[in-house]
Structure 1
């Protein structure tokens, strides 16, 4: 870093650099698009089975492979973001995964489709790490919690848009259209990133080589291991309560002919519970600025436990609506804290790589959750399969967050005192910060 860049970075206010809203908007909107492109497959299981003449398990495995490829994308794009800045890798990533999504809709055979979803996983995994670090580094420190909620709330919002698109665009233009509509959003994201400033925190802490970036990663294996456990469990919570739930709704006999918000209940209910997810992400994210990241997540997990009976065993449309709304409010409320929490615990020099890689590696470790739930469904039925699995996950998360570290409100424009210290000293500093 030269003298001029150092002065510019040092002068950056904790209230956010000019144009920070463009960076935050690009990060949030890209995650909306990422989620939309993933959940399209969730809603099109039956249509894809018919087109490719395969069973449900084959389509479920395409989603599993997408999730499994995400860590490689996080490692690749995250390393580029730490070496060359946040803006250009973010633009390259969104252009890449949008192109692959379009090609998914044009796939002539199941194997081509499977290859496209595998390649899509690279871009899906790469975007979150860059977008989250870019947004959190650019945002004012006192707004980090609520913007973290908005960032993660982009995921259920993408889910919501996919559900609405299935009721509007798919009937009018054909279900393949769902793979094409995101291309226009890509142009908006690229424009937002082009107008946004480069991250001042990256300029202050950037690393001169890729070798140094990966070396720094290996120096922080302690906190990485803890966060990997955390992300594996919370991904089991998120994908385990979302991905197969629309299919679960279709198995309820009294759902036939039922409507919600003027839509078929199996599509209207996801609209409602994703509204709850968005509200939960923002509310709990904002709450984390007052009571701390860990306690906010613990409160959100309590809501999940309370919602469990109605969510899995509700015997009417009303019960399922209330249970699923509360469940996703708690699930995404907990997840809404994650962008801020991971970035605050990440080493300064690798904030583009570290949060995204641990996030997506957790996704990889949790990727068997869908086949496992499908297997449990065959043995015990959908309600008990969902309930038993997610109760175990929630209890595990309560323990993980209760005993875990926290660095709420940490400045990204100063070097963390615990970095580079021996593990016993760093642990003491982390405890003091906590």
Structure 2
């Protein structure tokens, strides 16, 4: 029998069994994460009716999970940097599964808000730990594909959630949709027994206790002050996003920013301006993507008058577009480079935003096509975001650096539904509001990434780091980046 030809660099055939298993487990966890997280957007109208909420107040329930994400990204990221990517991933899955199940037992607005915050902690940890786990298990030449293919799981999870919505909610009510979110707990038993630890983390960090984020954030001298800082920060965010801060809201926002900067300085040291720039980039990315992600079901039901089955079909095609776009982004990113592919996808997406929301009711098939392509280019290109962010941090700080900066920036996702609903109330059209937010912020993100703003800041400050994005060209070539 003739021997199989050797796998070329960048070929999927060069992945061994352990690397494939690592990817599949992380992909499955992220799929279930997407399923749990998106449930609230599908049933906002039903919850609003049950609890007597208006659209703007109901939209704050979407924000609840974003309010807690910074904490999940920081704490579970620190655990991943200290104890390994695998245990942090397992804890994250447990958190979002338990939180989702509890949502089914919510008795009023505030109980549901708290349970959604638990989901947010788990989702934040899952994003950072899964992304770093897969990236550090795969060859460097394939890491755009690693994150692109990984993030394709999230929209497939949303598709499954949309299908579950169509079947479960009309027959049994919205609470049973949340009970289904308990299913991922079973996955943690498989993960605990079957997976190896990420090779790069083992070789560069392993048992070292003096170089990780946990040794910085949770040292005896900083433990209590940082716990107090977390309490103050969490309270401020709750007051801001539930609109209960009143006249103190501007001061609460300023306090929130100062708290985040204080944590970034501890976490990243001299690199803290780079981390802040990453946060701003992600914040703007959520402002262009999450108004559509969170309010599209509401738009389809209220502005266009579609029923549950039609909404489910539309979201299915949007989710499939997101998944296909994530995979394509990974392939293009490994060929053209992360930043170049990212900017290209963002500008192409602008061609489809206006047609989606200008389309009148009744053109359901055309809507499916437009949603598929729009989400493939706008949301799908975000499959490169973990690689883009992760390149700005060294291995010993990568999980917490990626998890914290991404999930602080993800507060843009908490602002997004509120901004979309508020603009819609002013101009009388939710579709126009979503078009304005998506179009303008897409351009902002493309400019930040295109001009490589975070890395330029790092180089201007002459930061000496082995983070791939901050290496000089000759060292990037030598290290295979």
Post-superposition offset of 1:78: 0.5
Tell me the secondary structure at the aligned position of residue 19 of structure 1: helix
- 1:367 is the counterpart of 2:407: no
2:390 maps to which residue?
Answer: 343
1:137 maps to which residue?
Answer: 136
Q: CA RMSD in A?
A: 2.7
2:118 maps to which residue?
Answer: 119
TM alignment of 1:415-426, pairs within 5 A: 422-423=462-463
Contact 2:69–2:124 (Cα < 8 Å) also in 1: yes
Structure 2-normalised TM-score? 0.78
1:57 maps to which residue?
Answer: 56
What is the CA deviation profile of residues 185-241 of structure 1, one whole-angstrom value per residue up to 9, with x for unaligned ones?
A: 331244134311112222233251423478552232233122212211111222122
- 1:402 is the counterpart of 2:450: yes
- How many pairs does the alignment contain? 404
Structure 1-normalised TM-score? 0.86
2:272 maps to which residue?
Answer: 221
Distance in 2, matches of 1:190 and 1:232, equals 34
55-64 vs 275-284, greater mean Cα deviation: 55-64
Unaligned runs of 5+ in 1: 1-13, 258-262, 408-417
Tell me the secondary structure at the aligned position of residue 139 of structure 1: coil
Contact 2:300–2:306 (Cα < 8 Å) also in 1: no
Contact 2:322–2:377 (Cα < 8 Å) also in 1: yes
Distance 1:276 1:356, change over 3 A: same
- 1:236 is the counterpart of 2:236: no
- 1:105 is the counterpart of 2:104: yes
What is the CA deviation profile of residues 112-159 of structure 1, one whole-angstrom value per residue up to 9, with x for unaligned ones?
A: 112111222212212211111111111233332222112111221121
Post-superposition offset of 1:289: 0.5
- 1:310 is the counterpart of 2:310: no
Contact 2:27–2:150 (Cα < 8 Å) also in 1: yes
Distance in 2, matches of 1:320 and 1:310, equals 9
Distance 1:171 1:400, change over 3 A: same
Distance 1:143 1:307, change over 3 A: same
1:390 maps to which residue?
Answer: 438
Post-superposition offset of 1:172: 4.1
What is the CA deviation profile of residues 293-316 of structure 1, one whole-angstrom value per residue up to 9, with x for unaligned ones?
A: 111112211221110221121123
1:252 maps to which residue?
Answer: 303
Distance in 2, matches of 1:251 and 1:52, equals 18
127-136 vs 162-171, greater mean Cα deviation: 162-171
Distance in 1, matches of 2:75 and 2:27, equals 20
1:178 maps to which residue?
Answer: 177
What is the CA deviation profile of residues 17-36 of structure 1, one whole-angstrom value per residue up to 9, with x for unaligned ones?
A: 65222322222222222221
Contact 2:62–2:294 (Cα < 8 Å) also in 1: no
Distance 1:53 1:193, change over 3 A: same
